Amino acid sequence: MKVRVATCLTLPEVDVDAEPLRQALGRGGFDPQWLAWDDPSVDWDAPGATIIRSTWNYSLHVDAFVEWIERVSKAGPLFNPAEVITTNCFKRYLLELAQRGVPVVPTTVVERGASSDEVLAALAELEAARFVVKPEVGGGSLGTKVFTDGEHAEARAHLTDLVTRGAALVQPYLASVEDYGERSLVYIDGELSHAIRKAPRFAGDAESITGPFPIADDERDVAEAALAPYGALLYGRVDLARDPGGIPRIMELELVEPSLFFAHEPGSADRYVAGLRNRLQTR
Ligand SMILES: Nc1ncnc2c1ncn2[C@@H]1O[C@H](COP(=O)(O)OP(=O)(O)O)[C@@H](O)[C@H]1O
Ligand SMILES: [Mg+2]
């Protein structure tokens, strides 16, 4: 069975899942074609199924990416589905999660083109000794910076710069990322598969992960509340950090192109491939 695996022309970092996935697809009888979403020579209108793996530059070209999503999803089944991807590209989904009662990192959205008064107001509202300013559409910590209470001028300059290009988010800094760590819960074929710990990462840092780690019940509850409306997705990742009161809060719901850290959990890539096969056969 043929399947297109979407990557990008220039990967900003190595995709550690590429090789385990390639091998599992082979074991599962798939004939994968690895193609870049941003390669103009690829005919994405040709009929076929597509899985998104490492389209990691999309945040720099989000309008083109959303158009591409619409295009490939017309050509055949897409995983995750188009409507899941296109809303998940924009981190204001955190506000929607909060409205549903899911604990998220407290988030203020500052819209693209915000006035200097609006920028000031978003920062003035903060009561945190440290806070984070980041683009609404982002990945790989690009444009994500942490500031202290004494650095409002620098924060204002960064936020002002971000909102010339898109919306931005302001959040209190959750210091638990430094010791307990940010925890990523990986879901495959609708089931919790494994969890890893990520070291804090800001603009310019490399990714550093360890695990698998045991999954705390309260983390699992939050992740499952976030994912509940989606049913069984082929893949997804829920990134959590604990607040000063110890409550796990969603930092990111990753349904577009998350690293799934297959190598940390034997059998996980095969379960992904089995889930893919079931989805393609029951269509
Ligand atoms: N509110 C926050 N508190 C503590 N650390 C944060 C916060 N926001 C972001 N970070 C750090 O920055 C990294 C990147 O932010 P994230 O929202 O996950 O965006 P992305 O992974 O899409 O670039 C996180 O993995 C974490 O290390
Ligand atoms: Mg992240």
pLDDT value for 106: 97
Closest-CA residue to 65 (of 138, 174, 172, 145) = 138
CB 261 within 8 A of CB 196: yes
The tens-digit pLDDT sequence of the chain (283 residues) is: 999 999 999 999 999 999 999 999 999 999 999 999 999 999 999 999 999 999 999 999 999 999 999 999 999 999 999 999 999 999 999 999 999 999 999 999 999 999 999 999 999 988 889 999 999 999 999 999 999 999 999 999 999 999 999 999 999 999 999 999 999 999 999 999 999 999 999 988 998 999 899 999 999 999 999 999 999 999 999 999 999 999 999 999 999 999 999 999 999 999 999 999 999 997 6
Residues 194 and 98 occupy one common structural domain: yes
Instruction: Please give the sequence-ordered ranges of beta strands (E in DSSP) within 56-111, or none if there are none.
Output: 78-79, 108-110
pLDDT value for 40: 98
Query: Which residue has the CA at smallest separation from atom 15 of ligand 1?
Result: 141
Q: Specify if 223 maps to a domain.
A: yes
Residues 202 and 131 occupy one common structural domain: no
Residues 99 and 192 occupy one common structural domain: yes
pLDDT value for 22: 98
Q: Specify if 43 maps to a domain.
A: yes
Q: Specify if 128 maps to a domain.
A: yes
pLDDT value for 209: 92
Is 34's C-beta closer than 6 angstroms to any atom of ligand 1? Answer: no
Range of the domain at 202: 93-103+176-255
Domain final position from 173, 202, 227: 173
Residues 78 and 123 occupy one common structural domain: no
- Beta-bridged to residue 33, according to DSSP, are 4
Domain final position from 127, 148, 173: 173
pLDDT value for 44: 98
Instruction: Please give the sequence-ordered ranges of beta strands (E in DSSP) within 177-224, or none if there are none.
Output: 182-188, 191-198, 209-210
Cα-to-chain-centroid distance, residue 198 = 14
**Token pair 């034997």 in the structure block, residue:** 266
Alpha carbons within 13 angstroms on the beta-carbon side of residue 180 total 19
Handedness of CA 72, 73, 75, 78 (dihedral sign): positive
- Beta-bridged to residue 171, according to DSSP, are 132
Residue 201 CA: nearest ligand 1 atom is 27
Q: Identify residues whose C-beta is under 5 A from ligand 2, the ion.
A: 252
Residue 141 CA: nearest ligand 1 atom is 23
Distance CA 54, CA 57 (A): 8
**What is the domain-level CATH number for residue 183?**
3.30.470.20
Is 140's C-beta closer than 6 angstroms to any atom of ligand 1? Answer: yes
pLDDT value for 282: 78
pLDDT value for 161: 98
CB 260 within 8 A of CB 268: yes
Q: Specify if 38 maps to a domain.
A: yes
Domain count, the chain: 3
Residues 114 and 243 occupy one common structural domain: no
Query: From the CA of 202, how far away is ligand 1's center (Å)?
Result: 7
pLDDT value for 127: 86
Which pair of tokens denotes residue 59? 């945040």
**The pTM of the whole model exceeds 0.85:** yes
Give, for 270, the enclosing helix (H) or strand (E): helix 268-281
Residues 98 and 201 occupy one common structural domain: yes
DSSP 215: P
Cα-to-chain-centroid distance, residue 274 = 23
Distance CA 283, CA 77 (A): 9
Query: From the CA of 276, how far away is ligand 1's center (Å)?
Result: 30
pLDDT value for 68: 98
Give, for 235, the enclosing helix (H) or strand (E): strand 235-242
